Amino acid sequence: MEFGWAALGAGIGVLFDAVKETAAKNNMFKDALESLMRKLETLKPLIEEVKKLNEQLPDEHGDECGYYESYLKEGAEHVRKCETVGRCNIVKKSHYAHKLQELDRTIQLLILIGYVVRNSKKILIFTGITLTVIQEQQGISIGQPHHPHQDIPSSPYNALPPSPLPPTSQNHDVGQGWIARIREGVGSLLNEVKESNDETSLWWKTPLNKLKATLQILQLLVKDKEILDLLEYKAAYYKFTIDKGVEVVQKCSQVHGLKYLCMKPFYAVMLLRLNKVLEELVQELLDPAIKNTEKKLNSVREEYNKIRARQNHWGYRRQCQSTYQIPIGPDLLRR
C-alpha cells in the first residue's frame, strides 16, 4: 500500500499551522486544540520518515490518501473558524467542538496507519539486505550484480507477520470463515458506495467520500489477511453492520425530490454512523498489526545486526567489498 505520503504531508502542514495559530488566541477550544497539536507533532515526523523509506523501495502509486488530503485542508478551515465562535453561541460551539473531535479521531487513525506502514517498510528493507548478504556468504550470488530491491516484496502489507492467535477451533473459524465474509462484504459495500457516489446529488457527497476512504483502507487491511484478530461476536457484529450498510447506501440512491427531503438528514446521519463503526474496525485491526510488525521488526533487526557484524570481519569484508553495497543508511533503520 502506497499511501501518497508526500501529498498528505502538505495537508498536515496546513492543518498544523492553523492549529498552532488558533490555539494561541482561543481559550474556548483549548483542550481540543492542544490534543490536536500533540497528535500532529507525532504524525509530522512519522510522515517524513515514511517518505524517506519510500525512496528505498520500488515505486507504487495509489490514491487512498486523496480524501484525507482534502479533509485535512478542510479541517484547517474549520480550526480557523473557531476564532469567530462567540461564548454565548451554544449551537456553533457544539458544532465546531464536534468537528474538532472528529478531526482528532482521524489524525489518530492516520498515526496508526503510519506506524504499520513505517514498520512494514523497515521489515522489507532489513529482510532484503539480510537475504542479499546471506546469498553472498553462501556463494549464491558470486559474480552477479547487486540489485537493491531484490527479494523485497512489492507491498508493506505483504510483510505483515501472521497473527499470534493459537490454532483453536474457534479462532480457526474466526480466522478463515469470518475474514472471508468481511472481505467480501467490504468489497460489495465499496462498490455500492462508488456507484452511488456517481449517481447521487451533492447532499451525499461528503458522507459517501468519507465512507469510501475508510473502506479503501479497510479493504487493504483485510486483502491478504488469513486470521482475524477479533472475537467471534465482534466479527459477526461488523459483518452485520457492513451488510446493513449496503442496504443504507442503496436506499440513499432512491431518495430524490422534495417528497423525500425530510429523509435526507436521516440517511446522512446513518452514513456517518456506519463510517464511525468501520473506523472502529480499522483501529481494531491496526492495533494488533502495530504490535506484530514491531515484534517482527525487532527480530529482523537482530538478524541484520548479526549480518553486519560478520560483514565487518576483515576476512569477509575483503571477499565481498567489491560486489556488495548497503542500499540504505543505517542511521535511518536504527530508529
Residue 87's SS3 state is coil
φ/ψ of residue 298, rounded to 5:
-60, -40
φ/ψ of residue 222, rounded to 5:
-100, -5
pLDDT digits (tens, 9 = 90+) for 301-331: 888 888 777 766 645 555 555 444 444 454 5
Please tell me what DSSP assigns to residue 256: -
Which residues, 6 or more positions from 332, have their beta carbon under 8 angstroms from its beta carbon? 49, 52, 53
Spatial distance between the Cα atoms of 283 and 132, rounded to a whole number of angstroms: 35
Please tell me what DSSP assigns to residue 154: S
* Cell of residue 188, nine digits: 460489495
| Maximal C-alpha separation, the chain | 84
Residue 235 confidence (pLDDT) above 70: yes
* Neighbouring C-beta atoms of residue 193, cutoff 10 Å: 27
Q: What is the mean pLDDT of residues 140-155?
A: 44
pLDDT digits (tens, 9 = 90+) for 243-257: 999 999 988 877 766
Residue 197 confidence (pLDDT) above 60: yes
Residue 217's SS3 state is helix
Spatial distance between the Cα atoms of 42 and 39, rounded to a whole number of angstroms: 5
* Neighbouring C-beta atoms of residue 211, cutoff 10 Å: 27
Nearest alpha-carbon partner for 300 in 139, 114, 152: 152
Tell me the whole-structure pTM to 2 decimals: 0.73
> What is the H or E stretch that residue 25 is in?
helix 5-25
DSSP string, 227-264: S--S-HHHHHHHHHHHHHHHHHHHHHTT--TGGGTTHH
